[in-house]
């Protein structure tokens, strides 16, 4: 789950990044509006956390340009995080297409809850638990269980499996999965994704009939499905 955090206060940006990474999200950061606008023009994100008072381009202008692009990227959910808590700013942000608004200072628990709610709505996941055979993912707690037992995963393994279970039974391209697991500034070889998938496969290895399995589709990508559905 890749998120763009647009915040020019570097200490706050680092703190929020660590907190979101702790709940298994991949966070990329931009410290000014121009960089954020460039990233949103070329990259896909599940959510944008957007400050308003930014150097080089105001946050409202970033939001306006994002919505004007249309298409899938133009519909990316945006939560405004700002100390500009006046009514006019809130109304203008919402009218420009912001999905939520949280005034600084805020409690981390409230931010996490709102982020999770926005992600659920944007992905059309009305059900709180996603299932693929014995593999279950609670979209509120963001925890995986397998055969009723909590599944221990590294952050990258978690990101990969979350992307896969969100499309269980459907193929996901290698490029799409790579973007969900690694941030743009991660210095990794493209083959690093294969290693992550290998480790996840080992953790899903089971003789149970309803075990979940990841299949490599050559030239296409990967597919997560229950073993009994594959036969």
Question: Are 154 and 104 part of one and the same domain?
Answer: no
- Shared domain check, 22 and 118: yes
Q: Looking at 122, 155, 189, which one is the last position of a domain?
A: 122
Looking at residue 73, its pLDDT comes to 82
Share of the chain above pLDDT 90, in %: 23
Bigger pLDDT: 119 or 213? 213
Q: How far apart are the first and last CA of the chain?
A: 30
Tell whether the model's pLDDT for residue 88 goes beyond 80: no
Q: Give me the number of domains the chain comprises.
A: 2
Q: Are residues 50 and 96 in the same domain?
A: yes
Q: What is the pLDDT of residues 187-209, one digit of tens each?
A: 788 788 899 999 999 999 876 77
| 87 and 189 in a common domain | no
Residue 103 shares a structural domain with residue 208: no
**Which residue range is the domain that position 179 belongs to?**
129-230
Q: What is the pLDDT of residues 4-14, one digit of tens each?
A: 999 988 888 88
* pLDDT, mean over the chain: 84
Q: Do 44 and 78 share a domain, yes or no? A: yes
Are residues 89 and 175 both part of a single domain? Answer: no
Instruction: Please indicate whether residue 2 or residue 29 has the higher confidence score (pLDDT).
Output: 29
């Amino acid at each position: 789950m890749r998120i763009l955090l647009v915040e020019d206060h570097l200490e706050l940006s680092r703190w929020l990044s660590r907190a979101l990474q702790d709940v298994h999200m991949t966070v990329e950061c931009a410290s000014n509006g121009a960089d954020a606008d460039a990233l949103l023009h070329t990259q896909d994100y599940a959510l944008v956390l957007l400050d308003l008072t930014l150097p080089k381009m105001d946050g409202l202008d970033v939001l306006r340009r994002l919505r004007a692009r249309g298409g899938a990227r133009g519909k990316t959910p945006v939560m405004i995080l700002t100390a500009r808590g006046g009514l006019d700013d809130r109304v203008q942000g919402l009218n420009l297409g912001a999905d939520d608004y949280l005034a600084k200072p805020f409690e981390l628990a409230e931010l996490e809850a709102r982020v999770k709610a926005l992600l659920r709505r944007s992905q059309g996941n009305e059900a709180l638990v996603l299932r693929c055979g014995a593999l279950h993912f609670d979209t509120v707690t963001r925890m995986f269980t397998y055969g009723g037992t909590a599944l221990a995963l590294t952050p990258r393994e978690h990101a990969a499996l979350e992307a896969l279970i969100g499309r269980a039974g459907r193929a996901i391209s290698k490029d799409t999965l790579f973007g969900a697991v690694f941030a743009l500034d991660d210095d990794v070889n493209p083959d690093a994704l294969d290693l992550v998938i290998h480790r996840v496969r080992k953790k899903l290895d089971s003789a149970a009939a309803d075990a979940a399995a990841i299949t490599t589709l050559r030239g296409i990508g990967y597919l997560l499905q229950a073993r009994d559905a594959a036969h």
